Structure 1
């Protein structure tokens, strides 16, 4: 089949991998970057990769890595299957659930790969609307209303990309139980867990009828490891997941698994750095949004590293995003998420004065753009 153009990745690749790259990246959905040297310097013991055999790893991931992921999420490590990022995790689950006429229930707006990958596996997409008038709330009622007799999976993303909205544990539990009555599993995409700006709820990985997908790219700020996972308490379904992973990619790199295992041992250090940067920058972004409230509206994110403001007059954001990029500041136009009057703003990569300078350029460019 012909995949639709991946507009978000096209936009990011144009600027993030340019030479020289964009000066101020507010389009990234990750956190502050780490070097391998910085990771290996964490802790008091000497962490070495010299003795790692450059061969295959187990399809489900090494026992050491799965133990660390299990501790991170508070689940039995036997429930964990390692994947190549959350993208492979999603593709595996869609592949195994696919059947003629089947569909998957997805949020709108959403990360664009969700629907494209469902379509690749022959699944239709049904949507529940996360209305900005309702603060992008994800409710069990809306998800259930979108499902029908052909639904094979439902997905919630919390904290949500691109809005930063969250679904409470009580709401998630209610939804999972109601879907269980229909024999429909619930996928909870937790790539931003546990980055919240209020109470920190536990992972949904221990809930009945829930399959959690996650990775080390977002909340752990280690996108280059390409390390993700599926958590599933069902042993029979887990065997199928491991088989699918074997067919897809055979295994992860043992070198990357060793580095990921080490990083997870010091996850509180990684998470603390991201939390500090994100909270400081979110406060600055909130002040910025007050200054430009005559032009932009937004819903302040409750978690994650991105916000999704929109033009009050409904104009297409892409011309503005292009003008802003020309001045060295990158945000993602809303048409990448099928909502052209919006833009996605990442607030966790830049730190301190850099973030303040980027916001200053953004505000000045907004004023200029409206005068044109």
Structure 2
């Protein structure tokens, strides 16, 4: 099957070895970077990998790691299946949900891989629209309105990429119950949880009829581990997921599982740093938008690590992003998310200096 070009990945890859080098990488959605040494030093007992056997782990992941993830989300560790990042989690879920003629509900705008990977598993996609006029609010009614007689699941991403909107727990519970009554599963993508700018909320993993996807890459700021998970209380479906993973990947790296377990055990320090960086940088973006009033507008995000402003005059953002990249500031053009007059700015990667990158971007917009 031919997949649509992954525009976001192509955009960032294009500038990986740019000359002059990119100084402000604002096109991504991860938190502030950590070295292995910094992670290993967390806690009273430094992590030591030197005596780790380089064999296979189990397909569902080590018990220690699943217990750490269960504690992180407040659920039974037996519900957890380890995956190679959030992408494999989605692929496994689409694999076991696929049936002839079935469709899945996905947000628009939304993470481009939802649509591409669903189609790769021959699932049709039905989009539910998150609108600027409604401040990108995520409600059960908006999702259910897109349902068809062939819908097998709906995906909710909260906090949402790229807009930063959050579906309230009451709406998630309502949607999960309605979906169950219609024979649908509710997949909640929580890779940006628990980074919130207003009232925080707990994971949805304990709600009935909810499958949670999480990973170490976004809020937990460790994308190089390539480690994610599925939380599913349905034992029969979970068994099918583990079987599929046995064929697809066999297991994850035991080295990376040990690092991830250590990181999750000390996740409070990692999350505190990510939250502090995101809070400070969100204020910087807010100041930039205010300075560019009449040229740029936005809906202030409620959580996550990205903002999704737009050009008031409706211009295509790609020429601006090209010009910014030439000045060392990498911002993702909105056409990567199907909305060309928008641009996505990552706010959690740079611990310092983001204000200067935004100043360069603002000067280009004003020129």
TM class, shorter-chain normalised? Answer: over 0.9
**How many Å separate the matches in 2 of 1:100 and 1:276?**
47
Q: Give the SS at the match of 2:243.
A: helix
**How many Å separate the matches in 2 of 1:85 and 1:276?**
24
Which residue of 1 is the match for residue 251 of structure 2?
251
**How many Å separate the matches in 2 of 1:244 and 1:199?**
38
Q: Give the SS at the match of 1:180.
A: helix
Alignment of 1:44-193 (within 5 A): 44-193=44-193
Deviation at 1:237?
Answer: 1.0
Q: Give the SS at the match of 1:134.
A: coil
Q: Give the SS at the match of 2:236.
A: helix
Kindly provide the CA deviation profile for residues 28-68 of structure 1, in whole angstroms up to 9, marking residues without a partner as x: 10111000011111111131001111111000000000000
**How many Å separate the matches in 1 of 2:73 and 2:314?**
41
Which residue of 2 is the match for residue 232 of structure 1?
232
**How many Å separate the matches in 1 of 2:179 and 2:320?**
42
**How many Å separate the matches in 1 of 2:10 and 2:333?**
11
Which residue of 1 is the match for residue 363 of structure 2?
364
**How many Å separate the matches in 2 of 1:17 and 1:215?**
27
Q: 1:95 to 1:183 in 2, by over 3 A?
A: same
Unpaired runs of 5+ residues, structure 2, are: none
Q: TM-score, normalised by structure 1?
A: 0.97
Deviation at 1:17?
Answer: 4.5
Deviation at 1:294?
Answer: 1.3
Deviation at 1:217?
Answer: 0.2
Q: Give the SS at the match of 1:132.
A: coil
Alignment of 1:291-306 (within 5 A): 291-306=291-306
Alignment of 1:279-318 (within 5 A): 279-318=279-318
**How many Å separate the matches in 2 of 1:298 and 1:200?**
21
**How many Å separate the matches in 2 of 1:97 and 1:20?**
46
**How many Å separate the matches in 2 of 1:177 and 1:20?**
53
**How many Å separate the matches in 2 of 1:208 and 1:109?**
26
Kindly provide the CA deviation profile for residues 280-311 of structure 1, in whole angstroms up to 9, marking residues without a partner as x: 11111111110011101100110000000011
**How many Å separate the matches in 2 of 1:119 and 1:60?**
25
Aligned residues: 367
Q: Give the SS at the match of 1:146.
A: coil
**How many Å separate the matches in 2 of 1:323 and 1:308?**
18
**How many Å separate the matches in 2 of 1:303 and 1:210?**
20
**How many Å separate the matches in 2 of 1:184 and 1:336?**
29
Q: Give the SS at the match of 2:15.
A: helix
Residue 223 (str. 1) matches residue 223 (str. 2) = yes
Which residue of 1 is the match for residue 40 of structure 2?
40
Which residue of 2 is the match for residue 355 of structure 1?
354
**How many Å separate the matches in 1 of 2:21 and 2:15?**
6
Deviation at 1:19?
Answer: 6.2
**How many Å separate the matches in 2 of 1:125 and 1:43?**
45
- The alignment yields a C-alpha RMSD, in angstroms, of 0.9
**How many Å separate the matches in 2 of 1:19 and 1:40?**
34
**How many Å separate the matches in 2 of 1:238 and 1:51?**
32
Which residue of 1 is the match for residue 29 of structure 2?
29
Query: Does 194-203 or 19-28 show the bigger shift?
Result: 19-28
**How many Å separate the matches in 2 of 1:175 and 1:18?**
45
Check whether the contact 2:27–2:345 (CA below 8 A) recurs between aligned residues: yes
Deviation at 1:198?
Answer: 1.5
Kindly provide the CA deviation profile for residues 191-249 of structure 1, in whole angstroms up to 9, marking residues without a partner as x: 00000012210100000000000100000000000010000011111111111111111
Which residue of 1 is the match for residue 273 of structure 2?
273
Residue 322 (str. 1) matches residue 290 (str. 2) = no
